[in-house]
Structure 1
Amino acid sequence: MQKLACIILAAGKGSRMKSDLPKPLHAVAGQPMVQHVIDAANALNPEKLVVVVGKDMDALAQAVQPHDVAVQDVPNGTGGAVKPTRQYLDGFDGDVVILFGDSPLITPESIEKLVKARRAHPDTGLVFSAMLPDDPGMYGRMVVEKDDILDRIVEYKDCTEEQRKITLCNGGIMCADGRHLFGWLEKLSNDNVQGEYYVTHLPEIARADNLATRFIEIPEEDMAGINSREDLARVEKLLQNRLRKKAMENGVTLQDPDTVMFCFDTEIGHDVTIGANVVFGRGVTIESGAEILPFSHLEDCIIRSGAKIGPFARIRPGSDIGENAKIGNFVETKKAVIGKGAKASHLSYLGDVEIGAEANIGAGTITCNYDGFLKYKTVIGAGAFIGSNSSLIAPVTVGAGAYVGAGSAVSGTVPADGLAVTRAKTLIRAEWAKKFRDKKRKEKEQGV
């Protein structure tokens, strides 16, 4: 079996991001961009995976554990970035793929395409990715010798006017023969405008060893890099479009696709309908047949088959919404296990709660779960009825089939099929309002 190693270059300072957070840790679809690249690489089961970080990037080094980390002490180009990985790859005789930590749209398919292209030609030491962008801009230009044989890559700043007319551009990622890679890196020169060591200069060195450099075309989108907040927004949009397309292909109805924001790990069954302006955080699973109405926000939760969420619902971590249950408008749940067919249709907070099947939670019900120090649990039995504007002061248990009268503040235990009502006696005074208004008007006229 042929060996594979992956190197991910993530040492760039990202100064254009204007952030204290290392650029590779900025999130795209809810996950650090570098982790997207790691996931794509790991899909090919590499024997080694090394992430190159910059000096003083401890947070990034910690975030990419348990993978090996190499440090580029001086920012001196892509060639200089690859060199420190030798401590992990010295003597490695398989293929080495070099990726970029700020290109989160790269796919396992594109990486595999590079590897297969190198393995298909024994006379090939390097395979570079190429693309034909609508606007070649500042990309390095690929000078082709013949067919898919690459003569050299010229960085844009080093290009002549004639070379800048070339439309075939360097995509960045590459695959190299690990038996030669580090020896070739030692021969790199920094005799260029930037004074840096570029892996794009390796083709000339490989040629001296009678090994060719080839190129394969990969979709421009897969290579999209992030250097600014504007780039971050652009790549976020591209990835969201991928996630939306995948959801719809899997049998999900998106009523207004452009307004639905998925997370990288969102799992949705078929025949789910999602309304406009729905946002998914991490860890959401939605089973088949559920419906998520507009303007709802969900994170770290399970929505069971046939459940209905929203509109304007917030489903927070630890929530498990049962089959055919309903969480309606302006209802917030947190660590809430909602039983089959239970309903909380309007204006409620349900935190640290277990609600039985077919229970009904009236409008304005609040589980009072926090005393400023600890959280306490509320348990509501199957078929219980909680009247509107009730405060359930945890720890509290409402038994199966029990009723809580509207406007009640309840603590302790309400027995099954029992009734709890805590409200003041209604006081009615005829003509009171008229007398009150007359009195106040008179005081106002007198300037009291």
Structure 2
Amino acid sequence: MTNIYAIVLAAGQGTRMKSKLYKVLHPVCGKPMVEHVIDQVSTLNTDKIVTIVGHGAEAVKAQLDGKTEFAVQEEQLGTAHAVMQAEGLLGDKEGITLVICGDTPLIQADTMKALIEHHQQHQSSATILTVHMDQPDGYGRIIRNQEGFVERIVEHKDATEEERKVQEINTGTYCFDNKALFEALKKVSNDNAQGEYYLPDVIEIMKSEGKTVAAYQIDDFEETLGVNDRAALSQAEKIMRRRINLRHMKNGVTIVDPDHTYIGTDVVIGQDTIIYPGTMITGHTVIGEDCEIGPNSEIKDCTVGDRTSIRQSVAYDSAIGSDVKIGPFAHIRPDSQIEDEVRIGNFVEIKKTVFGRGSKASHLSYIGDAEVGKGVNIGCGSITVNYDGKNKHKTKIEDGVFVGCNSNLVAPVTIGKGAYIAAGSTITEDVPGDALAIARARQINKDGYVQKLNHNK
């Protein structure tokens, strides 16, 4: 079995992005574009992936830690020079090396696999991934000989009128015999206007030595789109979003308005779930079957059970059970665990809390740093007072507790099983099970007060 290696070019700063963030780290559907490339390459069972880093090397390394090895291009002296930096890791290897740019987030593993298979079938020293374009102005043309092999790559500015009619262009993705690649790289010259070493020159060197250079053509230009500026980034985002939404719809998810629904690449959604417009689902979110999400909900890095509804609400880094109703306008903050059959209503905020089965907070409450048992009712306007200005403290509300409206539970405090909290109470001490706690000033009525007040005016 032939060894497969990959070199991902990710050293450029990307000045046309006009950004403090390095180009390949700009996200497409919630994931940095270079990570899209690495994840697709990883499915090919590669023996080694080497990412060439330069500008923003530490940030790129941190993002891709564990997914690839790295080589540093200290000076950006062209694409051939970038590939040369991998020699210490790959130079002595036998096998096939895929070279791909880190700013092509739409390329798919099936295309790369087909390119490698085409390369093997023709026993080529190099194979170029090409694409058909109806209007190829500005792109390098692939000129083939009578046998269909690549004769040369001609840049648009150097092409004759006849050559400019060719609609097959170079995408910048290549497949090489690894040994032949590094041998040819040593012969690449920087005798050009930019003083740089260009990878396409490797093709000319191999041709001059009588080696076979093939081309594998695809028809979908979108897949080879390189992102060099914000306009192309927006275009890639739109294409990727359409691709992701189509995949979910084919798997049995209803997306009411795909043009206004934003789903990340790693999201999993069960059958017969309905996603309403304006919804964003990102990170490693997993949503069960028969759910209703949205409209205008934002969910990131959450697990959601079956038959749950999340309407016009936000949920981050939390676990939400089955048969739960959330919203509208609720906020589930990180490290929360919402168990089955819970009701979280409008303008309720939950943070770092276990909220037990069948419990409910229907409106206008804040529950933070708490353990809420089963079958608890938290009345309107009630809060857990969890912060003393320096430290956070826990509130424990046991099963079957009834918390009246506008109550303050000052942590640390425990409300025992089955207890009642009278409306308007501020609870500062533990409440025993089955007790009624009343913590408010006694009401006093002043008869005739208004008449006396008016008389004094």
Q: 1:378 to 1:152 in 2, by over 3 A?
A: farther
Indicate how the Cα distance of structure 1 residues 433 and 258 shifts in structure 2: closer, same or farther if over 3 A, else same. Answer: farther
Correspondence for 1:384: 401
Deviations 1:320-354 (A, max 9, x none): 22223222333222222222232223233222222
Q: Which structure 2 residues correspond to residues 194-213 of structure 1 after superposition, within 5 A?
A: 194-213=194-213
Distance (whole Å) between structure 1 residues aligned to residue 408 and residue 331 of structure 2:
19
State how far apart, in whole Å, the 2-side matches of 1:431 and 1:316 are: 50
1:141 maps to what in 2?
A: 141
Query: Conserved in 1, the CA contact under 8 Å of 2:12 and 2:55?
Result: no
User: What's 1:61 paired with?
Assistant: 61
Preserved CA contact (<8 Å) 1:290 1:307: no
Offset from partner CA, 1:91-119 (integer Å, 9 cap, x none): 11111011111122222212211111111
Aligned pairs for 1:262-281 (under 5 A) are: 262-281=263-282
Distance 2:277 2:454 in 1: 48
Equivalent residue pairs, number: 439
Distance 1:246 1:117 in 2: 27
Name whichever of 315-324 and 153-162 sits farther off: 153-162
| Equivalent AA in structure 2 for residue 290 of structure 1 | C
Q: What is residue 334 of structure 2 aligned with on the other side?
A: 317
| Cα shift readout 1:118-168 (whole Å, capped 9, x = no counterpart) | 11222x111211122454343322223246522222334544555444322
Task: Please tell me whether residue 101 in structure 1 is matched to residue 106 in structure 2.
Answer: no
Match of residue 33 from structure 1: 33
Partner of 2:344: 327
What is the one-letter code of the residue matched to 2:15?
Answer: S
d(CA) in 1 for partners of 2:147, 2:444 = 94
Structure 2 stretches lacking a partner, 5+ long: 300-315
Contact 1:248 1:254 in 2 (8 A): yes
Change (3 A) 1:158 1:376: farther
1:249-288 to structure 2, matched below 5 A, reads: 249-288=250-289
Contact 1:396-1:412 at 8 Å conserved across structures: yes
- What residue is the counterpart of 1:89 in the other structure? 90
**Change in 2 beyond 3 A, CA 1:279/1:196:** same
1:400 aligns with 2:417: yes
1:416 to 433, 446, 449: 433
Alignment root-mean-square deviation, CA:
2.7
What CA deviation, in whole Å up to 9, does each residue of 1:27-60 have, x standing for no partner?
Answer: 2222222222111111122111111011563322
Partners of 1:153 and 1:201 within 8 A in 2: no
Q: C-alpha displacement at 1:178, in angstroms?
A: 0.8
Q: Which residue of 2 aligns with 1:243?
A: 244
2:385 is aligned to: 368
Distance (Å, rounded) in 1 between the aligned partners of 2:122 and 2:447: 98
C-alpha distance in structure 2 between counterparts of 1:427 and 1:166, whole Å: 93
Does the aligned pair in 2 maintain the 1:271–1:288 contact within 8 Å?
yes
Q: Distance in 2 between matches of 1:143 and 1:12?
A: 29
Give the C-alpha shift of residue 2 in structure 1: 1.5
Partner amino acid, structure 2, of 1:346: H
Counterpart position of 2:216: 216
Q: 1:172, CA displacement in angstroms? A: 1.9
Secondary structure at 2:412's aligned position in 1? Answer: strand
Q: 1:133 to 1:415 in 2, by over 3 A?
A: farther
1:335 and 1:207 map into 2 onto residues whose CA distance is 64
Question: Which residue in the other structure is 1:234 paired with?
Answer: 235
Asked whether the 8 Å contact 1:292–1:308 carries over to 2, the reply is no
**8 A contact 2:22–2:55 mirrored in 1:** no
How far does the alpha carbon of each residue in 1:285-304 deviate from its partner, in whole angstroms, 9 at most, with x for none? 22223333322222222222
Unmatched 5+ stretches in structure 1: 443-448
**Number of the residue aligned with 2:23:** 23
- Letter in structure 1 aligned against 2:271: H
Q: Provide the secondary structure at the position in 2 that maps to 1:216.
A: strand
CA contact (8 A) 2:53 2:70 kept: yes
* 2:296 is the alignment partner of 1:295: yes
The CA distance in 1 between the partners of 2:207 and 2:88, in whole Å, is: 26
Q: Encode CA deviations 1:244-267: one digit per residue, 9 max, x unaligned.
A: 222222332333333332233323
Structure 2 distance, partners of 1:350, 1:160, is 72
Provide the secondary structure at the position in 2 that maps to 1:204.
helix
TM (norm. structure 2) is: 0.87
Q: Note closer, same or farther for the CA distance 1:357–1:48 as it changes in structure 2 (3 Å cut).
A: same
Confirm or deny that 1:172 pairs with 2:172. yes
Answer whether contact 1:286 1:305 (CA < 8 A) is retained.
no
Please name the residue that 1:152 is paired with: 152
Moved more, 410-419 or 110-119: 410-419
- Aligned partner letter, 2:21: L
- In structure 2, the partner of 1:189 is 189
Per-residue deviation, 1:370: 2.3
Contact 1:295 1:310 in 2 (8 A): no
Q: Distance in 1 between matches of 2:332 and 2:434?
A: 29
**Alpha-carbon distance change, 312 to 131 in structure 1, aligned in 2, over 3 angstroms:** farther
Q: Between the two proteins, what is the percent identity of the paired residues?
A: 42
For residues 49 and 437 of structure 1, the distance between their equivalents in structure 2, rounded to whole angstroms, comes to: 86
Match of 1:445 in 2: none
Contact 2:408 2:426 in 1 (8 A): yes
Structure 1 range deviating more: 213-222 or 145-154? 145-154
Partner of 2:310: none
Q: Which amino acid letter does the alignment assign opposite residue 394 of structure 2?
A: K
- Taking the aligned partners of 1:156 and 1:392, their CA distance within structure 2 comes to 73
